[in-house]
Amino acid sequence: MSSQQQSQRPCWVGVDLGGTKMLAVVFDGQFEPIGRRRKRTRGHEGAAAGVARLIDTIEGALEQADVSADEVAGIGVGCPSPIDMQTGTILHAVNLGWKDVALQSELRQAFDCPVAVLNDVDAGVYAEYRFGAGAGARGVLGVFPGTGIGGGYVRDGEVYTGVHRSCLEIGHIQVMPDGPRCGCGQRGCLESVASRLAISAEAAKAAYRGEAPHLMDRARADLSKIRSAALAESIEKGDAVVEAIVRRAARWIGVAVANFVHLMGPDRIVLGGGLVEALPELFVEEVQRGAESRVMEPYRGTFDVRAAQLADDASVRGAAAWVQHRVGELE
């Protein structure tokens, strides 16, 4: 694509394949959203049908933005999966039932523009680096506790990856030898003690024992109902045991952050996800304190912890910004 052609194609498309819905957003040259379309994902419908639905979702967002495909300078996709960074292949997206899907080439063929595919947490951290809580920092570590715990690292404007694969599975750093079994099959991973699922399980037991009456009133001991808002409300209404559970989990995240500080030296830690959005001050305070207490003295005061700022649009905005950053290599 020539520079003249690129100047005529000022819009960027970001896609988020995480959660239960696929979201496509069209951004103008200043990365302000001008059109969007969301469709529910259908797990295990098959990759071919899923990619066709994704193409239809992108076309719907372009239609709402009143933008033609010829005006799209690039498409970035964030997906909850390990990614082959050389080919833009989704290696195993469990929630979609996709395995070894060459999404970069599929979308490039459909829209005739540069396409970049990256892990959805990497996309969210890159957005925070460019536009949010990580702006102005040199090295930004993102930690996003949810059902699991996702992580990403951006340094000097580049998403940190392995040679061939996305990486930074911070949720699977071992923090408790012989701790609870993790979904990955190992014991004592950060996810097993600090994810929302782990927190909710402990809170459900406390409610069942009568130690968290406000949580019991709202959710009983039903694990499926003990989500971020329920935990925040329980703490606000005085369930001290639930607050202690959440603070302990946040301190485990601080332990993992301290390990990362020793290895990579980030100057900014960004915490995101629904649980952090519901309890930002608690998480920032405990993770900062936990990390500072675990690092060697020369590393204290070299980093700060902040809550993410971009919420639900972080992955789509980051994916769009990432393809803009890499457009010269992708042409």
Q: Name the residue type at position 101.
A: V
Tell whether 104 and 148 lie within a shared domain: no
Tell whether 253 and 303 lie within a shared domain: yes
User: pLDDT digit string (tens) for 70-88?
Assistant: 999 999 999 999 999 889 9
Q: What is the pLDDT of residue 4?
A: 41
Q: 147 falls in which pLDDT band (50, 70, 90)?
A: confident
Q: What is the pLDDT of residue 95?
A: 80
Mean pLDDT over residues 37-66, rounded?
90
Q: What is the pLDDT of residue 234?
A: 97
User: pLDDT digit string (tens) for 149-208?
Assistant: 999 999 999 999 988 888 889 999 999 988 999 988 999 999 999 999 999 999 999 999
Does residue 321 lie in a domain region? no
Mean pLDDT over residues 274-278, rounded?
95
Q: What is the residue whose two structure tokens read 């606000």? A: 236
How far apart CA 153 and CA 159 sit, in angstroms, is: 6
User: pLDDT digit string (tens) for 118-142?
Assistant: 999 999 999 999 999 999 999 999 9
Does residue 58 lie in a domain region? yes
Tell whether 203 and 266 lie within a shared domain: yes
Tell whether 142 and 276 lie within a shared domain: yes
Tell whether 108 and 219 lie within a shared domain: no
Tell whether 150 and 268 lie within a shared domain: yes
> Could you tell me the CATH number of the domain that includes residue 71?
3.30.420.40
Statement: the pTM of the whole predicted model exceeds 0.85: yes
Q: What is the pLDDT of residue 97?
A: 87
Tell whether 241 and 276 lie within a shared domain: yes
DSSP 176-225: STT-SBPTTS-BSBHHHHHSHHHHHHHHHHHHHTTS-HHHHHHHTT-GGG
Q: Tell me which residue range forms the domain holding 235.
A: 135-309
Tell whether 51 and 149 lie within a shared domain: no
